Amino acid sequence: MSGGGPGGMRGGPFGRGFMTDEEKANQPKVTPALLKRVFSYLTPYWKQLFLALLCITVSSILNMMPSILTGKIIDEGLLKQDLRALLFYILLSLATTLGASLIGVADSYINTWIAQHITYDMRNQMYRHLQTMSQRFFTTNNQGDIITRMTSDIDGVERVITSTFSSILSNSLTLIVALVAMYQRNWILATIGIIIVPLFTIPTRKAGKTRWSLTQESQARNDEINGILNETLSVSGQLLVKLFGKEKEEYHRYRKANRRMISLNIKESMAGRWFRVVLSTFTSIGPMLIYLVGGVLMMRYDSSITVGDISVMVALLGRMYMPVNSLLNVQVDWIRSMALFSRIFDYLDMPVEIKSKEDAVVLDDPKGDIVFNDVSFGYEEDRLILKNVSFELKSGNSIAIVGPSGSGKSTIINLIPRLYDVKSGSVTFDGIDVRDIELSSLRDKIGVVSQETYLFNGTIRENLKYAKEDATEEEMIEACRKANIYDFIKGQEDGLDTMVGNRGLKLSGGEKQRISIARLLLKDPLIFIFDEATSALDSISESKIQEAIDPIVNEKTSILIAHRLSTILAADEILVVKDGQIVERGTHKELVKAGGVYQELYETQFSRAEQE
Ligand code: ATP
C-alpha cells in the first residue's frame, strides 16, 4: 500500500515470480476455510485497513495525475502559448505528486503498523502454543525447524501483508485508473497500449528466470557456507576441530565454498545489467508505436486528437508497465503467501498432547504418595519401553532405581510430572491419577535434577531465581550451602553474580549439578527426583554432590536414579529395572544376598565405582 513512487508498484523488475520445485510440490490448497482463517487475523484491524485502502485509492489516482496533466500542459499551455495555464498545470502536477508522496508515507506507516500488530499477535499465539507442546514434540522435531516457524515464517507473513496484499491492491487500482484515463481519450490508442504492455513483460520474465536460478544456486551455496560456519565455529565443533588438528582442512573447505560464491555473485549482477539493456530497448518501442499510430490518426483521420492526447497516452503507458508486470507475477506471490500461512497453521493446529482436563483436581495440601499401577509405556507406537511397572513411594520415603543403561529408569520418572502419559495402567499422586490433576499444580510439587543439567546464560543468581523469583539473599545462600556450592560461589570474584556462560558451559559438570540442586532446593517441591548422570565425575566432585543429596533423601520424599553405591545406600528401597521391567526390589543387603541382576550390577559397576 505504501511506496506510491512512479507507479507505486512492488514486486521488483525480476519479480519473485518463479517457484522452486519444492514449492510447486507443496502448493497449499487455497480453500475458503484457509482464506477465512487468514482474514480472521486482519479483522481486528479493519479500521486501519479501511484507512490504508483509502490511502491507496487516493494515492493511485493522484499518482496518475501528472501523466494526465501532461496533455493539459501541452495543449492548454504550450500550444496555446498561455503562460498562466502553463504555470497552473505545472503547479497542479507538482502538487499532486507531492500529495501522492505524502499519502504514500501515511499509507506506509499504517501498513507497517498493521503488519507489525498482526505478526505480534501471531508470534505470541505461536509461542504460547509451542509451550503447551509435549516433550515428545520437542524430542521429535528439529529445533531449527521450530525456530524457523517462529522467525522466518512469521517474518514472511509480515512481508505478505506489507507487500503481497498491498501490491495486488495498489497495482490493480493504478491499472484501472490508467485504463479509464486512456479509454476516455482515445480507444484505438488505448487498445494498442493494452496489447503492447504485456509484451514488455517478456524480457522481465526471461531475466527473472535466469536470475532466479542463480539466486537458487547462490542460496544453496550460502546454506553450505552457513553449515560450515555452524559446524566449525560452535563451541563443541571448534573443540573437535582443535583436538583433531583439522584447522587447515576446515579452512580449505570454507575457502572453496566461499570462492564459488564469487563467480555466482558476478553472474547474478551481470544478469541484472543485461536485463536493463533489453528492458530499455523494449520500453522505448511502446511509446514510439503510440507516437506513430497516434500521429497517423491525428494527421490523416481524426483531427480532434491533440498532441497533448498522444503525450498523455505515452506517459500513461509508462506507468502501466510495472503494475502489469507485478500482477502477472502475483499468482506465485499469492501461492507462496498461502503456503506460509498453511505452514504456520499446521503448527498451530497440532493437538496439545498433555494438558489439564476441564475438571482437573488442584492439589491442595498434598502428602506426596506416588503409586505406579501396572504401568506400560512406549515413546513410539510399536515399541514398549516400560512393561507392567508397579511400585509405591510413600510420603517421606525414598526409592533408588538402578539398572543397566537404557533399561528405562529415566522413562519411569518422566511419567511422574506427566512429561508423557502412560499407555496403560496409571500413575497416581495421593491416590489421584496424575492425568486428573491440574498440570501446573502437579508439576509444582515435583522437582527434578535431570541428567543434563540446564542453566540459562546469565548469572548464578538469575538461574537460582528461576525457581523462586522472590528468593531473598539469605535463602539463596542457604540453598547454595545445602547444595554444597556456596564455597565455590564465595571464591568467585562476582559471587552470586558470576556468569555461568552459554548453557552453563563456563562451569564444571559437578558445579552445574550442584547449582541445579540449589535451584531445586529453592523451589522446595514435595517430591525430589534425581536422575544421576552416568558420566563420571571425579570423586571429590561426586562426594560433594553426595553430601548435598544425602540430607534431602533422608528428609524428603525422593526418587533417585543411581549409579553409585553411596547414593543407593541412602534410599529406603531399591528397585532394579531391566528391559523396562522391575525385576528385583528390596534393600541392598537383601538384593546382594539374592544373587540376581542387582548383585551383578553391584559387582561390575557399583563396587568398582566405589573403589575408584
Ligand atoms: P541411562 O541409565 O543410560 O540413562 P535409562 O535406564 O535411564 O538409561 P531411558 O532413558 O529410560 O533409559 O531409555 C529407555 C529406552 O527408551 C532406551 O532404549 C531409549 O533409546 C528409549 N528412549 C528414551 N527416550 C526416548 C525418546 N524421547 N524417544 C524414543 N525413545 C526414547
Q: Coil, strand, or helix at residue 392?
A: strand
Q: Coil, strand, or helix at residue 31?
A: coil
Q: Is 411 in the pocket of ligand 1 (CB under 6 A)?
A: yes
Mean pLDDT value across residues 244-271: 87
Q: What is the pLDDT of residues 83-134, one digit of tens each?
A: 999 999 999 999 999 999 999 999 989 999 999 999 999 999 999 999 998 8
* pLDDT interval class at 21 (50, 70, 90): low
Q: Is 534 in the pocket of ligand 1 (CB under 6 A)?
A: yes
Q: How far is the CA of 580 from the centre of ligand 1 (A)?
A: 10
- CATH class assigned to 454-524: alpha beta
* pLDDT interval class at 12 (50, 70, 90): very low
375, β-bridge pairs: 389
Rounded Cα–Cα distance for residues 563 and 569 (Å): 11
Query: Vertex 59, ends 164 and 10: CA angle to 5°?
Result: 25
What pLDDT is stored for residue 144 in this prediction? 76
**Residue-wise over 496-513: b if at least 16 C-beta within 10 A, else e?**
bebebeeebeebebbbbb
Q: How far is the CA of 271 from the centre of ligand 1 (A)?
A: 54
**Atom number in ligand 1 closest to CA 577:** 6
* pLDDT interval class at 23 (50, 70, 90): low
Whether 49 has a pLDDT exceeding 80, the answer reads yes
What pLDDT is stored for residue 195 in this prediction? 81
424 CB-near residues (< 8 Å, 6+ apart): 374, 375, 376
Q: How far is the CA of 585 from the centre of ligand 1 (A)?
A: 21
585, β-bridge pairs: 575
Amino acid at 545: I
Whether 277 has a pLDDT exceeding 50, the answer reads yes
* Residue to mutate, 141, 410, 560, ligand 1, most ligand atoms under 8 Å from C-beta: 410
Give the residue whose CA is nearest to atom 10 of ligand 1.
Answer: 410
The DSSP code for 482 is: H
Q: What is the pLDDT of residues 500-539, one digit of tens each?
A: 877 677 777 788 888 888 998 888 899 999 887 655 566 6
Higher pLDDT, 551 or 352: 352
Q: Is 408 in the pocket of ligand 1 (CB under 6 A)?
A: yes
Q: Which of 88, 98, 87 is nearest to 63 (CA)?
A: 98
What pLDDT is stored for residue 13 in this prediction? 38
Q: How far is the CA of 488 from the centre of ligand 1 (A)?
A: 33
Q: How far is the CA of 379 from the centre of ligand 1 (A)?
A: 9
Q: Write the DSSP string, 302-319.
A: -TT--HHHHHHHHHHHHH
Q: HEC states along 77-128?
A: HHHCCCHHHHHHHHHHHHHHHHHHHHHHHHHHHHHHHHHHHHHHHHHHHHHH
Name the phi and psi angles at 250, rounded to 5: -65, -40
Mean pLDDT value across residues 443-456: 86
Whether 609 has a pLDDT exceeding 60, the answer reads no
* pLDDT interval class at 9 (50, 70, 90): very low
In the numeric block, which cell numbers belong to residue 533?
Answer: 548422570
What pLDDT is stored for residue 509 in this prediction? 79
* pLDDT interval class at 608 (50, 70, 90): low
Terminal C-alpha separation, the chain: 73
Determine how many CB atoms are found less than 10 A away from the CB of residue 49: 18
Q: In what order do the strands lie in the sheet with 432-433?
A: 386-393, 370-377, 424-429, 432-433
What pLDDT is stored for residue 8 in this prediction? 36
CATH of domain 1-185+322-353: 1.20.1560.10
Give the residue whose CA is nearest to atom 1 of ligand 1.
Answer: 405
Q: How far is the CA of 378 from the centre of ligand 1 (A)?
A: 10
Rounded Cα–Cα distance for residues 352 and 350 (Å): 6
Q: Which of 27, 56, 556 is nearest to 336 (CA)?
A: 27
Q: What is the pLDDT of residues 479-504, one digit of tens each?
A: 898 888 888 888 888 888 888 877 67
Rounded Cα–Cα distance for residues 513 and 535 (Å): 12
Q: What is the pLDDT of residues 199-231, one digit of tens each?
A: 767 766 777 777 777 877 887 788 888 888 888
Q: Is 385 in the pocket of ligand 1 (CB under 6 A)?
A: yes
**Residue-wise over 517-533: b if at least 16 C-beta within 10 A, else e?**
bbbbbbbebbbbbbbbb
Mean residue pLDDT of the chain comes to: 84
Higher pLDDT, 474 or 603: 474
Determine how many CB atoms are found less than 10 A away from the CB of residue 288: 10
Query: Vertex 177, ends 172 and 179: CA angle to 5°?
Result: 95
Q: How far is the CA of 112 from the centre of ligand 1 (A)?
A: 48
What pLDDT is stored for residue 607 in this prediction? 63
Mean pLDDT value across residues 382-411: 91
Q: How far is the CA of 233 from the centre of ligand 1 (A)?
A: 30
**Atom number in ligand 1 closest to CA 139:** 27
* pLDDT interval class at 17 (50, 70, 90): low
Q: Is 379 in the pocket of ligand 1 (CB under 6 A)?
A: yes
Q: In what order do the strands lie in the sheet with 527-531?
A: 446-449, 527-531, 557-561, 398-402, 573-578, 581-586
* Total-model pTM: 0.74
- Domains 1-185+322-353 and 454-524 are alike in CATH topology: no
Q: What is the pLDDT of residues 547-563, one digit of tens each?
A: 788 888 888 899 999 87
With 0-12 / 13-18 / 19 or more C-beta atoms within 10 angstroms meaning exposed / middle / buried, residue 436 is middle
Q: How far is the CA of 411 from the centre of ligand 1 (A)?
A: 6
In the chain, domain spans: 1-185+322-353, 454-524
Higher pLDDT, 8 or 132: 132
Rounded Cα–Cα distance for residues 410 and 402 (Å): 10
Q: Is 137 in the pocket of ligand 1 (CB under 6 A)?
A: no
**Atom number in ligand 1 closest to CA 411:** 11
Rg (CA), the chain: 36
